[in-house]
Amino acid sequence: MTATLRTFIALLAGILFGSGLAISGMLNPERVRGFLDITGAWDPSLAFVLVGAVAVAAVGNLLSKAMSKPVLDDTFHVPESNGQIDQPLLAGSAIFGIGWAISGLCPGPAIASIGRDVSTIYVFVLAMIAGILIHSGQTTESDS
């Protein structure tokens, strides 16, 4: 029962997340790349999205501090706040940034655009899955 409810909440969160992406204009790769184009035609839209999202998420984070556990689980599955800033974190983020800039897509908007009949999106998502596969072939992860 609890697992079913969690699945429903995840579905709802996904719908909200996807709708937010559609409303914010972030499904347009040119506007995302425009945010990174600080020496060209800079488009600050992504900064507004980030401010709106982080502000609301921060309220959620503050509320979670006052709770001993989430409503539908025994523990918060949140990474340790004192985790090391290590080489994989920085190298992975740098590699991601290159792909993000070339395509104007990160995983959220790419997946949210699957319903759109655009071959660019299909190619990108399939290649993204290949990238995930290559990584999982190199590591044996057991974390959650």
Partner 1 sequence: MIPEPYLQALFGGALIGLATALLLLINGRIAGVSGIFARALGFRGTDLGANLAFVIGLVLGPLSYSVIYGAWPAAEFRMPLLFMALAGLLVGYGTRLGNGCTSGHGIAGLARLSPRSIAAAATFVASGVVTVFIMRSLEML
Residues 92-121 that bind partner 1 (CB under 8 A): 92-108, 110-116, 118-121
Least distance (Å) between residue 131 CB and partner 1: 2
Least distance (Å) between residue 20 CB and partner 1: 3
Q: Answer for the pair 12, 18: CB distance below 8 angstroms, yes or no.
A: no
User: Binding to partner 1 by residue 79, rule CB under 8 A?
Assistant: yes
Least distance (Å) between residue 21 CB and partner 1: 7
Rg (CA), the chain: 18
Among residue numbers 14 through 53, which ones bind partner 1 (CB under 8 A)?
14-30, 33, 36-40, 44-46, 48-53
For residue 100, the tally of other CB atoms under 10 A from its CB is: 17
Contacts by residues 94-103 (CB-CB < 8 Å, ≥ 24 positions apart): 100/32, 100/36, 101/33, 101/36, 103/29
